[in-house]
């Protein structure tokens, strides 16, 4: 299968909204786990470093390509003084499988007309959408979440309900809704990491999830906000 084409919309989001989730994907990806395998790391979890399970780690990992998408190729400011360079523009980006929208300050930022068109075009194709923090609130005026159960940063739920009452806003850790689970929306930045850990868990082998999460020293929470006990911890 071809690599997953994963896009990040470069608006001035809170850095962790995107850095956390994409690092979960990166830490469970082929290049990352292949390097770990060659270095002989995590062999303690396998019968032998020459066992089929160990040697097949890279082949079973996520095959993914990231695209940082903006209206131009100029640097985009994030929180904490970070600035990120786009890798492509809305006009030149490849056809995506998924699009992630992090959360900017909703009091000062509104999605541009070009970005709004881009999001709507992506959704119209039936492709997947992730939002973290206020990302859900920011894309709601485009209408793509109308009739969908969704969440946003819980501090902003009342603002979201007033802005776009056509969306079924809920105060959950994260929500999956839409035809075929097209929309994954999370609350605050760390809830976005929890959500992405769940997405990986539903699609990849348990040991791939384990290696990725343990390399980050990250223990995700479930929908109830409590730490998840994985099968390898029992």
The residue ranges of every structural domain in the chain are: 4-233
Per-residue pLDDT of the chain (234 residues; tens, 9 = 90+): 899 999 999 999 999 999 999 999 999 999 999 998 988 888 888 888 889 999 899 999 999 999 999 999 999 999 999 999 999 999 999 999 999 999 999 999 999 999 999 999 999 999 999 999 999 999 999 999 999 999 999 999 999 999 999 999 999 999 999 999 999 999 999 999 999 999 999 999 999 999 999 999 999 998 888 877 666 553
Q: How far is CA 96 from CA 3, 68, 119, 158, 226, in A?
A: 10, 11, 11, 32, 33
Please state which of the four CATH numbers 3.20.10.10, 3.50.50.60, 3.40.50.880, 3.40.50.360 is assigned to the domain occupying 4-233: 3.40.50.880
- Dihedral pair phi/psi, residue 40, rounded to 5°: 75, 20
Rounded distance, CA 101 to CA 17, Å? Answer: 8
The reported pLDDT for the residue numbered 234 is: 39
Report the pLDDT value the prediction gives residue 231, as an integer from 0 to 100: 61
Question: End-to-end CA distance of the chain, in Å?
Answer: 33
């Amino acid at each position: 299968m071809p690599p997953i084409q994963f896009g990040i919309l470069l608006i001035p989001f809170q850095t962790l909204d995107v850095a956390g989730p994409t690092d979960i994907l990166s830490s469970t990806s082929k290049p990352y786990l292949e390097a770990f395998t060659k270095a002989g790391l995590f062999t303690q979890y396998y019968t032998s470093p020459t066992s089929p399970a160990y040697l097949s780690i890279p082949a079973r990992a996520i095959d993914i390509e990231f695209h940082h998408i903006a209206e131009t190729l100029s640097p985009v400011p994030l929180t904490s003084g970070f600035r990120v360079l786009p890798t492509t523009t809305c006009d030149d980006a490849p056809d995506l499988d998924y699009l992630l929208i992090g959360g900017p300050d909703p009091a000062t930022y509104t999605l541009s007309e070009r970005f709004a068109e881009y999001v709507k075009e992506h959704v119209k194709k039936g492709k997947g959408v992730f939002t973290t923090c206020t990302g859900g609130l920011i894309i709601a005026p485009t209408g793509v979440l109308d009739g969908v159960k969704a969440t946003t940063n819980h501090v902003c739920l009342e603002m979201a309900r007033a802005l776009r009452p056509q969306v079924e806003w809920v105060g959950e850790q994260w929500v999956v809704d839409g035809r075929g689970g097209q929309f994954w929306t999370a609350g605050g930045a760390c809830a976005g990491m929890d959500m992405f850990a769940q997405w990986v868990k539903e699609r990849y082998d348990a040991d791939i999830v384990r290696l990725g999460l343990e390399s980050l020293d990250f223990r995700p929470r479930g929908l109830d906000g409590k730490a998840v006990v994985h099968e390898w911890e029992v």
